[in-house]
Structure 1
């Protein structure tokens, strides 16, 4: 039942966005009686929170190019792709929109990103082990610094973001880390 409801939640988000997400719509799409959905998830925020909780536990495909710069470039490209892909993009963007409008969704999105940053920090730890970075480098901060420009341009300024732009963001984070700034 939970899987059906969460799949339906993602489908509704993709088609209708956060504003169009309703418990009734999810219940109808999932085939689960709406009183059951209301009882377990209460409202759209509960559905979003649960979907993000499930997503945060899924492993993120980590690159292993053999260099910090290559790995960070791959990660920033992956972030861009997750928001611009015609299939996954609307859902990912709906999660961000929900977080702007709902404290509960914002907390769930924070936990989701914290888990992603922790997973992705492995590429920084490997760079430390290879001797590319100082031993006291804050691995999660390197990841945050690399991906921040992608989110800024996608959601704040709404500027176009290209692969060249993602490479530049990754390169800046790699340089700052090598210089011991992170």
Structure 2
């Protein structure tokens, strides 16, 4: 393992990959059911059916386990849409976020990790890496819209993508309700309108 790597972030294969999948699934279950404060490596090992020493040796600490869980979620995320229209691409992005936050397990998991990131710096860093990866994946939608002349040159693609998901997360975290289809539609339309108006020009 590279000495600069976060524990658990080097990708394994074979039986090690199966162990990783089992442990990360168990960790996600605990986060969704009980929150970050109750995430215990020994409990995760028991749920996953693997030895405690395996978990401690590979991930080292809870923060390393959460970092790897978020890395896996990036790997499994849906690639960006290419509909030929910025608005439709942003609608696809908004609906992906909506489905994630409305999922009983995924929505609870994200709430737990976001809450933990407010006081655990390693978790905060892992969460930032997760969102950086997702924003980077979807940024080409805006770059293509610039090339088509839909939005002004100099528009910041990453800021447009962040503008789509921000109100959906805000709704979940402030009023405790996952966003519905209307909220997703509104978020996509607002971001597209702002982009066309030059709001996100650097």
Structure 1 and Structure 2 fold alike (TM over 0.5)? yes
1:86 matched to which residue of 2?
A: 104
The CA deviation at 1:160 is: 5.9
Number of residue pairs matched? 182
The CA deviation at 1:159 is: 5.2
Question: Contact 1:60/1:120 (CA < 8 Å) preserved in 2?
Answer: no
Q: Output the aligned Cα RMSD.
A: 1.9
What's the CA shift string for 1:107-149, capped at 9, x where partnerless?
0000000000000112111212222112211111100112111
What's the CA shift string for 1:14-42, capped at 9, x where partnerless?
33322221111111012221122123222
- Of residues 110, 113, 130, the one that matches 1:112 is 130
Moved more, 110-119 or 133-142: 133-142
Please give the secondary structure, in 2, of the residue aligned with 1:82: helix
The answer for unaligned runs of 5 or more in structure 1 is none
1:175 matched to which residue of 2?
A: 193
What's the CA shift string for 1:51-73, capped at 9, x where partnerless?
11232344533223331111112
Is 1:166 aligned to residue 189 of structure 2? no
Is 1:49 aligned to residue 67 of structure 2? yes
The CA deviation at 1:178 is: 0.8
1:20 matched to which residue of 2?
A: 38
Distance (whole Å) between structure 1 residues aligned to residue 125 and residue 115 of structure 2: 13
What's the CA shift string for 1:77-136, capped at 9, x where partnerless?
211210111243222332222222311111000000000000011211121222211221
The answer for unaligned runs of 5 or more in structure 2 is 1-18
Moved more, 157-166 or 70-79: 157-166
Q: What's the TM-score once normalised by structure 2's chain length?
A: 0.81
Please give the secondary structure, in 2, of the residue aligned with 1:64: coil
